Amino acid sequence: LSGREHQVHTGVVLVLPQQPDPATGSPPLIRSFVTTTHVTFDTLPDEAIRAYIATGEPFGKAGSYGIQGAAGAFVSGLRGCYFNVVGFPLHRCVCALR
């Protein structure tokens, strides 16, 4: 990830079993979307990478980092939804439920 841009993609399917689908007039209403966020990391010296790994923070995380944790200091740019990178594109989901 060091010195590069990568993308975080999240796919969501909402199934509203009691809501009728406007196209058919009968339930369920199904809405789906994909949100993509572009994240750029600064170029990191090897010692910074080793120190981050030593914290244990990257383990058990998709992409081996949590932007809301120590790795947030490595992010030099973000284009898109911050919450998508954290784990769930909240605003996009709320919009899909309207």
Is the pLDDT at 58 greater than 90? The verdict is yes
Establish how many alpha carbons lie within 13 A of residue 23's alpha carbon, considering only the half-sphere containing its beta carbon.
4
Arithmetic mean of pLDDT, 44-64: 94
Give the residue among 55, 54, 58 at the shortest CA–CA distance from 1.
58
pLDDT digits (tens, 9 = 90+) for 7-51: 999 999 999 999 999 999 999 999 999 999 999 999 999 999 999
What is the pLDDT of the chain when averaged over all its residues? 96
